[in-house]
Chains A and B, each alone.
Chain A
């Protein structure tokens, strides 16, 4: 198999290939989809830990006295509530009340914010922010300045602590510290995309191999596995975390996506607010809900959906869930069909199989 040179590579690409990872094109990046086994990697994260190269993610930095007011206008969560060292999940809003992207917003300084955005949207997001900034603030697409690793799972803390003098235990969920990790200046963030406790580390790409190797060595005795995008996807799905392009995009509003908790009404105006207000008042026409299969079979992304034998859209995300050992997924249903237990059918390669709406998240980690 020839290597496609048009694809972008993370600084760990040679390591992944040497390790024998299976590589795929993900949003224009040559990424590891799995190392030895997607199922084992998924289970390792639920029971021990997993190490993910997520350097494809984009980073955008916004600096200046007007950074706060710009971000308040661009996003639906309340940026003013962020203290220095705090992170929040949010949406870059489209005037239709939909997602230009979903993002995590880090407050690094009084007037310094850092956005982690989806790889596939990085350029669009930067252009969108830059356009709206109209020179009021400095906007920098610093995606090439950062590699990112995620260490996720119940053992993440105990694996990482010996590698840093920063007291990692004191970093609360959705907070971060800028400090040394394996002697490298990092953003050490207690966040993740797996439904487990864990950390995400941002640092200059030239240190990627050093940090990757250190975490892998420290983690091996505790059951840590290098983990690929397949496990990352099934982990986030079990935890019902949305995936841009599948579950949310420029056609789905934040309220339809059942993410009302990131909309802060008290904060004043923001792009798309009028649409969301109307939906809040009148009710959403459809909602993103979780389902599990009743009949044997796996409903996958884009499989057609039927309500009382009438076409009703498609599955947004669907997969076998390795920890739950069942077939689950997310889809939009008209609001009157969103009741728990409601049944519908999914066309799985020509066969209509029964599925039902269930409570989410499908998986919640034990406290």
Chain B
């Protein structure tokens, strides 16, 4: 996956939109900050969310992080494998660690999200 093709939230989710379907996960920076993911709570297929609304949570030994939906839409698929192997969020944040697929309600919303370079700048800022 080319990270340039993704859009990002300030809360460290990424989304890849193809044919009105967005695949959502958390970034490598986010998984690194969180540490070993030991638990993930995800929505059900059919649930709807507005952009910025919490759709689930990821937990490491020390921390909990809410997951915020980058766009508005309806969940059409959930990565059920993460229930048993949440550590995939650490090892493959942009691959096997994807969380949900969502059917976008409004394609224009993507424009509010960060580009790869904007997101990188944001994480650099956080490090300083």
Bind each other: yes
> Which residues of B sit under 8 angstroms from A319, Cβ to Cβ?
61
- State whether B36 touches A298 (Cβ < 8 A): no
Residues of A at the B interface (CB closer than 8 Å) are 1, 22, 33-34, 37-40, 42, 230, 234, 296-298, 300, 319-320, 322, 327, 349
Main secondary structure of the interface of A (DSSP, over half): mixed
Give CA–CA (A37, B36) in the complex, Å.
6
List of A residues within 8 angstroms of B57 by Cβ = 349
User: B38 contacts which chain A residues (CB < 8 A)?
Assistant: 39, 298, 320, 322
Is B61 touching A39 in the complex (CB atoms < 8 A)?
yes
Q: Mark B46-67, 1 if CB is under 8 A from A, else 0.
A: 0000000000010111101000
A1 in contact with B127 given A34-B35, A37-B36 (CB within 8 Å)? yes
CB contact between B61 and one of A296, A297, A320, A349 (< 8 Å): that residue:
A320
Chain B contact residues (Cβ within 8 angstroms of A): what range? 10 to 19
Contacts A1-B127, A38-B61 hold; do A320 and B35 have CB atoms under 8 A apart? Answer: no
The residue of chain A having its C-beta at the shortest distance from the C-beta of B39 within the complex is A298
- Whether B36 lies near A38 (C-beta < 8 A) is yes
A349 neighbours in B (Cβ, 8 Å): 57, 64
* 20 A–B pairs (Cβ distance < 8 Å), ordered by A: A1-B128, A22-B35, A33-B62, A34-B35, A38-B35, A38-B62, A39-B36, A39-B38, A39-B61, A230-B61, A230-B62, A296-B39, A297-B39, A298-B38, A298-B64, A300-B64, A319-B61, A320-B39, A320-B59, A320-B61
**Which residue on A lies nearest to B128, using beta carbons?**
A1
Contact with A along B27-49 (1 / 0, CB 8 A): 00000000110110100000000
In whole angstroms, how far apart are the Cα atoms of A297 and B83 in the complex? 11
* Most-contacted residue by chain B among A33, A230, A327 (CB, 10 A): A230
| Least CB distance, B80 to chain A, in whole angstroms | 13
- Could you tell me the distance between the alpha carbons of A300 and B38 in the complex, rounded to whole angstroms? 13
Which 4 residue pairs are nearest across A and B when measured between Cβ atoms?
A: A39-B36, A38-B61, A320-B38, A230-B62
In the complex formed, the residue of A with least CB distance to B36 is A39
Query: Given A320-B39, A322-B38, are A298 and B59 neighbors across the interface (CB < 8 Å)?
Result: yes
C-alpha gap A349/B62 in the complex (Å): 15
Q: Which residue of A lies closest to B38 (CB)?
A: A320
Within the complex, the shortest CB–CB distance from A277 to chain B, in Å, comes to 40
A349 smallest CB distance to B (angstroms): 7
Seed contacts A1-B128, A298-B59; 11 additional CB < 8 Å A-B pairs: A22-B35, A33-B62, A34-B62, A39-B36, A40-B36, A296-B41, A297-B39, A320-B59, A322-B38, A327-B39, A349-B57
User: A111: shortest Cβ distance to chain B, in Å?
Assistant: 43
B61:A234 contact, CB within 8 angstroms = yes
Central interface residue in A39, A42, A349, by most chain B CB within 10 Å: A39
Residues of A with C-beta under 8 A to B60: 38
Q: Tell me which residues from 79 to 128 in chain B have a Cβ below 8 Å from any Cβ of chain A.
A: 127-128
Contacts of A296 in B (CB 8 A): 39, 41
- Set of chain A residues within 8 Å of B36, measured between Cβ atoms: 37-40, 322
Q: How far is the CA of A319 from the CA of B62 in the complex (A)?
A: 8
Q: How far is the CA of A322 from the CA of B39 in the complex (A)?
A: 11
Contact of A297 among B35, B41, B127, B128 (CB under 8 A): B41
B59 neighbours in A (Cβ, 8 Å):
298, 320
